[in-house]
């Protein structure tokens, strides 16, 4: 059997507060057989593109309350990625297939329950790395949260915090007025000039988030796509309109705090009949074909813009992941392990 | 025209913090004609029973953000009540009709837009005062919040804070496990012995609300009927189960605070895919006939228990209202102005 080196990034210590590169470790000494055993029904993949996503922070803590298990210390970081099938013991996958889904931060991974954790890539007429973003979990998150949970109507006012992805573009295509917040001038320019947001602002430059929202939404917000939490959520609640909807898929401002920030004005939920719905996108993956059918033509026709922040090499992955929490990335943060 | 005295309770000062009796004033010098003018399309009623409800606190402040207007200083307190029609210029109401709906804290009231603010009482085979409670707005609140918003399933675990009303009994009839919290031993005994709650506890005796909820809900809470807010909501969020639903119709713990208490663990909304839906019952009043059809037989057959805390005389109304916020009332707080 061909034995090859299998470089990997493992979790060294559970993370408290802000994650550091030294919480992870590059291990270069491991090897792997590039052939599954006869009785295996797993899939062996070569990882091509790895995805850095904010939710991963939760798996790096040793605390309860996250919706997925902590990563085991000493094991490779788990995360989403695009990969190529090298060997398969599973009838749904064959050698040479391209897949995306839950893999590990290493060169080669054995995926034990492939039908539950990876999807076959059917359309390769787009950059493969897009399946870590707009064509994968983050794109599905935008789709589910915006269309399924917020049920937008033409002309409604939409606010997206930590804006960078597809939500704002979906909202524009739905005839909504859309404002996004981001953490740098470069991102704000992108939102306005490339992604077609009506307005965007740098939240770091606003002394008073409430005043900023009142400036952009003099008549209030109908739909809020919640990625941030804490003080931003508090300011948004004060500016929501009657029957407003909040889709909550994450609260990145809270992930590295020992104690979450208090939100003091939840009474707006009552007085304005707001609906705040949390969701976990993996519970909606049955809608993936429907989503791809909608989004693929939009991408191919250039009606949706998409940008990536690409880090080269597995060894660059820890810094790339940590950069998410200081907002260093511009666009979807991808790590290239191999291009084929 | 017959002119009679019209005793009333007016709002003397806008309320900051905890309301006091001296914020209201009994005025005995006013008079009223017991006949409407020829061109009126109003309804003149004699008030019989007045309802004391927590939401009224919001109307006594001079602050924005409430879902209904502040009461005008020097004008009678507005609130729900049961009344008898003395004269009518409106085709839907005639002299002698019994009605419930939005009236004022005085002996006689001219209701200017009766089709928008009062309902004719069709069934008088129950105590009339019940239309301030189980057969009126509070009953509808329980019905809408529990059945429409929380969509209960047999066997689910339900927690009701500031429990005293119908929600817990509806939940028992739906085959749920139901626990309520209240603020005195007497109320806790009522919940368990009269209203059929599976368990109840006195939140004032619990050092640690989170621990109390874990004791009663070792497997977590599916449905929370939110009346309290603040620290109770925080403890509940920690104990909600996946796909849990929170119907929020009020947050009484917050009404007399200058600054709301911070809720620090809203991330549970994301990780557990919770839905928190605020609502205002008046937007559901079209469902009143359907509700009465369901609840009236339950009351007549004794399948739903209901108790009232009755204050005698209009002059007792300010103290009765204020008592709500210290939890003095046991059962629905009613003020009898006249019995017919």
Domain residue spans of chain A: 3-133+306-336, 137-282
**For residues B266-294, b (16+ Cβ closer than 10 Å) or e, as one string?**
bbbbbbbbbbbbbbbbeebeebbeebbee
For residue range A129-146, list pLDDT tens digits in order.
Answer: 999 999 999 999 999 999
pLDDT interval class at B62 (50, 70, 90): confident
Q: Quick one: which of A137, A121, A42, A53 has its CA closest to A89? A: A42
Residue A2 has pLDDT above 80, yes or no: no
Residue B7 has pLDDT above 80, yes or no: yes
Read off the pLDDT of each residue in B178-203 and give the average, rounded to a whole number.
94
For residue range B245-287, list pLDDT tens digits in order.
Answer: 999 998 888 877 878 889 999 999 999 999 999 999 999 999 9
* B151/chain A closest Cα distance in angstroms: 15
Q: How far apart are CA B307 and CA B162, in angstroms?
A: 15
Q: What is the pLDDT of residue A256?
A: 78
Q: What is the pLDDT of residue B256?
A: 79
pLDDT interval class at B164 (50, 70, 90): confident
* B233 contacts chain A (CB < 8 A): yes
Residue A257 has pLDDT above 90, yes or no: no
Inter-chain residue contact B264 with A261, CB threshold 8 Å: yes
Q: State residue A251 phi and psi, 5-degree precision.
A: -140, 70
In percent, the amount of chain A with pLDDT more than 90 equals 86
For residue range A321-339, list pLDDT tens digits in order.
Answer: 999 998 899 999 999 999 9
What pTM does this model have? 0.91
* Lowest-confidence pick of A259-263, A286-290, B271-275: A259-263
Q: What is the pLDDT of residue A66?
A: 55
Q: What is the dihedral of CA A120, A124, A126, A131, to 10 degrees?
A: 20
Inter-chain residue contact A259 with B264, CB threshold 8 Å: yes
Q: What is the pLDDT of residue B247?
A: 96
DSSP A13-41: S---SS--GGGEEEE---EEESS--TT--
* B207 contacts chain A (CB < 8 A): no
Candidates B254, B264, B267; nearest CB to A267: B254
Candidates B238, B272, B278; nearest CB to A272: B278
* B263 contacts chain A (CB < 8 A): yes
On whether the CB atoms of residues B202 and B224 are closer than 8 A, the answer is no
Non-local (6+) Cβ contacts of B164 within 8 A are: B180, B182, B187, B190, B191, B330, B331, B332
Candidates B249, B266, B273; nearest CB to A251: B266
Inter-chain residue contact B271 with A66, CB threshold 8 Å: yes
- The CATH code of the domain at B3-133+306-336 is 3.90.180.10
Q: How far apart are CA B68 and CA B318, in angstroms?
A: 20
Q: How far apart are CA B315 and CA A118, in angstroms?
A: 71
On whether the CB atoms of residues B57 and B18 are closer than 8 A, the answer is no
* B278 contacts chain A (CB < 8 A): yes
Q: What is the pLDDT of residue B232?
A: 94
In percent, the amount of chain B with pLDDT more than 70 equals 98
Question: What is the overall mean pLDDT for chain B?
Answer: 94
Read off the pLDDT of each residue in A102-121 and give the average, rounded to a whole number.
96
Question: What is the overall mean pLDDT for chain A?
Answer: 94
Candidates A269, A274, A283; nearest CB to B273: A283
* Lowest-confidence pick of A64-73, B168-177, B317-326: A64-73
Read off the pLDDT of each residue in B144-162 and give the average, rounded to a whole number.
95
pLDDT interval class at A252 (50, 70, 90): confident
The answer to whether B3-133+306-336 and B137-282 have equal CATH topology is no
pLDDT interval class at A64 (50, 70, 90): low
Residues of A in contact with B283 (CB under 8 A): 273
Read off the pLDDT of each residue in A167-172 and give the average, rounded to a whole number.
95
Q: What is the pLDDT of residue B67?
A: 64
Inter-chain residue contact A276 with B276, CB threshold 8 Å: yes
Inter-chain residue contact B266 with A229, CB threshold 8 Å: yes
Q: How far apart are CA B12 and CA B77, in angstroms?
A: 10
* A145 contacts chain B (CB < 8 A): no
CATH architecture of the region B137-282: 3-Layer(aba) Sandwich (3.40)
Q: What is the pLDDT of residue A169?
A: 95
Q: What is the pLDDT of residue B69?
A: 83
Q: What is the pLDDT of residue A200?
A: 96
Read off the pLDDT of each residue in A193-202 and give the average, rounded to a whole number.
95
Candidates A262, A264, A276; nearest CB to B269: A276
Residues of B in contact with A261 (CB under 8 A): 262, 264
Q: What is the pLDDT of residue A41?
A: 94
Highest mean pLDDT among A89-98, B65-74, B257-266: A89-98
On whether the CB atoms of residues B250 and B167 are closer than 8 A, the answer is no
Q: What is the pLDDT of residue B201?
A: 96
Read off the pLDDT of each residue in B336-340 and give the average, rounded to a whole number.
96
């Amino acid at each position: 059997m061909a034995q090859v080196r299998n470089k990997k990034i493992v979790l060294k210590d559970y993370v408290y507060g802000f994650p550091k590169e030294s919480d992870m470790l590059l291990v270069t000494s491991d090897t792997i057989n590039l052939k599954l055993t006869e009785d295996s029904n797993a899939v062996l993949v070569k990882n091509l593109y790895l995805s850095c996503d904010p939710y991963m922070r939760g798996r790096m803590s040793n605390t309860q309350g996250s919706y997925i298990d902590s990563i085991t210390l000493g094991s490779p970081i788990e995360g989403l990625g695009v990969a190529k099938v090298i060997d398969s013991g599973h009838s749904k996958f064959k050698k040479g297939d391209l897949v995306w889904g839950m893999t590990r931060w290493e060169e080669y991974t054995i995926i034990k329950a492939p039908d539950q954790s990876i999807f076959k890539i059917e359309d390769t007429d787009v950059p493969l790395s897009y399946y870590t973003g707009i064509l994968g979990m983050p794109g599905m998150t935008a789709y589910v949260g915006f269309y399924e949970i917020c049920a937008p109507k033409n002309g409604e006012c939409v606010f997206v915090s930590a804006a960078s992805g597809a939500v704002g573009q979906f909202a524009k295509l739905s005839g909504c007025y859309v404002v996004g917040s981001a953490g740098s001038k470069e991102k704000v320019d992108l939102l306005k000039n490339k992604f077609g947001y009506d307005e965007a602002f740098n939240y770091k430059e606003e002394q008073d988030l409430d005043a900023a929202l009142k400036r952009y939404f003099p008549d209030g917000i109908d739909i809020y796509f919640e990625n941030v939490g804490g003080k931003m959520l508090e300011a948004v609640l004060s500016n929501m309109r009657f029957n407003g909807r909040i889709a909550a898929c994450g609260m990145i401002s809270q992930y590295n705090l020992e104690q979450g920030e208090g939100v003091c004005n939840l009474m707006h939920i009552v007085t304005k009949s707001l609906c705040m719905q949390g969701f976990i996108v993996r519970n909606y993956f049955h809608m993936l074909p429907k989503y791809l059918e909608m989004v693929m033509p939009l991408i191919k026709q250039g009606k949706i813009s998409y940008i990536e922040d690409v880090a080269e090499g597995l060894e660059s992955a820890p810094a790339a992941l940590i950069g998410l929490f200081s907002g260093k990335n511009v666009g979807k943060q991808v790590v290239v392990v191999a291009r084929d």
